[in-house]
Structure 1
Amino acid sequence: MIKIKFLSNYDGSENLLRRFKANYAIYDHDLDFTIANDYDYAVVFNRTDEPINKKAKVITVIQEPSWSKAHEYIDFLLHSDYVIVHDPELFEKTHNLHIGGDVIASPSYMFYHDHVPHAFFETVANTKKEKKISMIVSYLNKPVGNYNKRIGLLNKILASDLDIDIYGKRLEIDDRRFKGAIEYKFTGLLPYEYSVAIENSNERNYVTEKFVDCVLCNTIPIYNGAPNIGDIYDERYFRIINLDSPTVIEDIKKIIEEPAPVSEINKGIYYNNYNLYKKLKEIIIDKRYDS
């Protein structure tokens, strides 16, 4: 039995394995997983400081934008056997390198935010949508990506009369629409028809939990992020906003005038097309990406 160990720059192997099993349907016993050092493949999210078993092959899964500090240590971009990355050309240009190994261009394989089994979202699938729109945002004001634009949109919302519920951490807001921090994102998504979802970066194929969390809760994302999102998910079940538009608040108001369409199509796309267990089988067993 082929054994896999998960490693990353942000969490330990035990927690990574727990999240992997929660996120993805493991529908057979073709692959085995371990937190010990007897593994055949290391699946590395972004990078790791932990020594890799010299006999193991390395599959690096990029989960961060091209400009992230997670990529300052570039060995895993250069020397992995396989690299799953959302935009290989952008990474090579940004870091002035040639990605090593077999490169697999793909929409991002991200864990959804809440640490709950994926079956949870089936049990709550029929939650009544009693509220119109939410926004979940934490104060991170970095000079890269969309951080400033996200906070800028929040400030525009607060200066408007948009009827919205706002949730988040590290925010000091004196406004009746601010509902405070929440432990689980589904609290701020399940009862809502729509939710504002802004990625940290507008990179091709970079679709993260910002979008997926909404989809799992059958909530329509009002989205700004991957420019090719319509090639990845069914465009009938999300809405796009331009953060630079001077009428962005009016644009949101116009969107939510209409009842949100009800569908689980995009949830099915996430579960079926972006199941990392399925992708690992394609790489390890089917040898689909061997050069």
Structure 2
Amino acid sequence: MYIVKLTFNYDFPIMRQTPNNIGVWGKYKFVIDNELTECDYWIIYSEYKLTSETVKCNRNNIIFIPAEGINTSIEYQHYFLKQFGKILTVQREIKHKNLIYTHNANPWFIGKSYDELINNKAPEKTKLISVVSSNKAFTAGHIKRLEFVQKLKSHFGDKLDVYGRGINDFDDKWDVVAPYKYSIAIENDNCDDWVTEKFFDCLYANTFTFYYGCPNLEKYVDARSFKRINIDNFEESVATIEGIINDETHYESVAPTLQTIKLNSINRDNFFPWIVSYLQTMNPNLPKQFITINSPSVLQDIYNRKISTRIIKKINQAVSLLTKTLFSTK
């Protein structure tokens, strides 16, 4: 059994995404434990709350996964990125010698375990269509999404149930997608590989998705599980949605296919099988040494001190040279 240290600094039950909730996938044992000092692989998911930590591992087997898409204020400096042997990301501006563009397997938000999703029957569909969208309006993308959802609600009225923080709060996302035949998922970013739990939560609840985002989603998921909409074209989107939800035979005809696609995706796109697919291409027997991974802020301080030291050194050299020049002219 290979030991995989997972640095995941979110208060989130990610281990439920493994069989029996024990963090094992095939030959790989995942451990979320800051006290673990030796491992075969080290996965660092996001720089969030990252602290300085020293672990015995081979640097080539240390993977960094940025949690954000392209529209982020976070700018990773080269001295932070060079700490890692491999980076898995959607962010095209990141520069690294071993960079792989891929979706980043965001943990699902629905309150179900791997075992429940795999073993239980598809949920009963008693409602028509929902959309989950918070009232956040921090970015242009947020504002555009919110305005689109408001227009949809005005058009569809009681046919469409709208949920989200600050709009219609809920405790478990399962409760606002699983009872519905259809749901609308709108990503914050519209870029290759950026497909998040917004889509997968619907799929894993056996809900057919009207989707905006990730232009190459078909690279990862069977296209029969969703229908694209364009939030920049309201009339076209409405026509697409109405054409499907008004077909009383559509959901029943696609339901068996949805179940198959769901099961395949849980065993492929779920965080653990997804990361294992990369670990299987790497060598766990490489020689290990103690390696310290630092947070961006710690490295920035170190970098600033080095720069300050160099500047002071140059100033001292200049002063020394000037002093010698002045004395030599007397």
Q: TM-score range by the shorter chain?
A: 0.7 to 0.9
- What residue in structure 2 maps to residue 5 of structure 1? 5
**Alpha carbons of structure 1 residues 68 and 75: separation in structure 2 relative to 1, 3 Å:** farther
Residue 146 (structure 2) aligns with: 151
Per-residue deviation at 1:66? 2.0
Q: How does 1:198-209 map to 2 (within 5 A)?
A: 198-209=186-197
Q: Which residue of 1 aligns with 2:56?
A: 55
Q: Does 1:257 align with 2:249?
A: no
For 2:210 and 2:4, how far apart are their aligned partners in 1? 37
1:282 touches 1:288 (CA, 8 Å); kept in 2? no
CA shift, 1:285, in A, is 5.2
8 A contact 2:111–2:174 mirrored in 1: no
Cα distance in structure 1, aligned partners of 2:112 and 2:30? 21
Name the structure where helix makes up a greater proportion of residues.
2
Match of 1:197 in 2: 185
Name which of structure 1's ranges 225-234 and 156-165 shifts more when overlaid on structure 2: 156-165
1:255, CA displacement in angstroms? 2.6
Q: Which letter maps to 2:69?
A: P
Shift of 1:30: 3.7
Matching residue of 1:140: 136
Call closer, same or farther: CA 1:71–1:266 in 2, change over 3 Å.
Answer: farther
User: Compared with structure 1, are the counterparts of its residues 70 and 239 closer, same or farther at alpha carbon in structure 2 (3 Å cutoff)?
Assistant: same
Deviation at 1:206, TM superposition (A): 0.8
Q: Tell me how far apart the structure 1 counterparts of residues 30 and 222 of structure 2 sit (CA, whole Å).
A: 33
The answer as to whether partners of 1:125 and 1:217 remain within 8 angstroms in 2 is no
Q: CA deviation at 1:120?
A: 2.2
The RMSD of aligned alpha carbons is 2.7
- Which gives a bigger RCO, structure 1 or 2 (Cα 8 Å, sep 6+)? 2
User: Do the aligned partners of 1:47 and 1:71 also contact (CA within 8 Å) in 2?
Assistant: no
The residue correspondences of 1:237-256 to structure 2 (distance < 5 A) are: 237-247=225-235, 248-256=237-245
Question: Greater CA deviation, 183-192 or 51-60?
Answer: 51-60
Task: Tell me which moved more, 258-267 or 150-159.
Answer: 258-267
Q: Residues of 2 paired with 1:160 and 1:182: CA distance?
A: 23
The 1:125–1:47 alpha-carbon spacing in structure 2 relative to 1, beyond 3 Å, is same
Cα 1:215/1:71, change in 2 over 3 Å: farther
- SS of 1:155's equivalent in the other structure is helix
> Is 1:81 the equivalent of 2:116?
no
Q: Percent of aligned positions with the same letter in both sequences?
A: 21
Answer whether contact 2:133 2:164 (CA < 8 A) is retained. Answer: yes
Partner amino acid, structure 2, of 1:4: V
1:22 match: 16
**Structure 1 residue aligned with 2:121:** 125
Where do 5+ consecutive residues of structure 1 fail to align?
A: 93-97, 172-179
Aligned to 2:72: 68
Give the corresponding residue for 2:220: 232
User: Which 5+ residue runs of structure 2 have no aligned equivalent?
Assistant: 285-330
CA contact (8 A) 2:153 2:162 kept: no
Per-residue deviation, 1:166: 1.2
The amino acid across from 2:244 in the alignment is I
**Is the 1:134–1:188 Cα contact (8 Å) retained in structure 2?**
yes
CA offsets 1:48-98 (integer angstroms, 9 cap, x no match): 4311315334211233102323445665534311111135xx233xxxxx2
Separation in 2, partners of 1:76, 1:66:
18
- Count of equivalent residues: 267
Separation (CA, whole Å) in 1 of partners of 2:182 and 2:129 = 5
Structure 1 partner of 2:204:
216
For residue 55 of structure 1, what is the amino acid of its counterpart?
A: K
User: Does residue 43 in structure 1 map to residue 37 in structure 2?
Assistant: no
Larger Rg: 2
Q: Quick one: distance in 1 between partners of 2:270 and 2:122?
A: 23
Q: How does 1:101-120 map to 2 (within 5 A)?
A: 102-120=98-116
CA positional deviation for 1:114: 2.8
Residue 184 of structure 1 corresponds to: 172
Report the 3-state secondary structure (helix = DSSP H, G, I; strand = E; otherwise coil) of the residue aligned with 1:159.
Answer: helix
- What is the rounded CA distance, in whole Å, between the counterparts of 1:116 and 1:70 in structure 2? 31
